Structure 1
Amino acid sequence: WAVLAGGAILFGPTIAFVQAPLQVGANQALLHFWDQATLQEHVLLFGIPVLLFTGLVQEGLKLVPALVYMKRKQPISNRDAIILGAVAGAGFGIFEAVWVLNTVFASGFTWATVQLQGWEALLPFWERFSAVGFHIGATALAIYGWNKGKGWQFYLLVALLHIVLDYSAVLFVAQVMTVVHLEIYCSVLAAAVLIPALWLRWRRPRQEPGIENTSSESVEM
Structure 2
Amino acid sequence: MTDAMFQVSLIDDDVQVLKALSRVLSIAGYQVQTFTDAETFLDEHDPLLPGCTVVDLHLPGKSGFEIQEALDACGRPVVFLTGQGNVPASVRAMRAGAQDFLEKPVNTQTLLAAVEQARLVDVARRRNFQDQEDLKKRVARLTARERQVLDQVVAGRFNKQIAGDLGIVEKTVKVHRGRMMHKMGVRTVADLVRIVEHFNA
Q: Same fold (TM over 0.5)?
A: no
When Rg is computed on C-alpha atoms for both structures, the one with the higher figure is: 2
Name the structure where helix makes up a greater proportion of residues.
Answer: 1
Q: Which has the higher strand share?
A: 2
Which one scores higher on RCO, CA 8 angstroms, separation ≥ 6? 1
Q: TM-score, normalised by structure 2?
A: 0.27
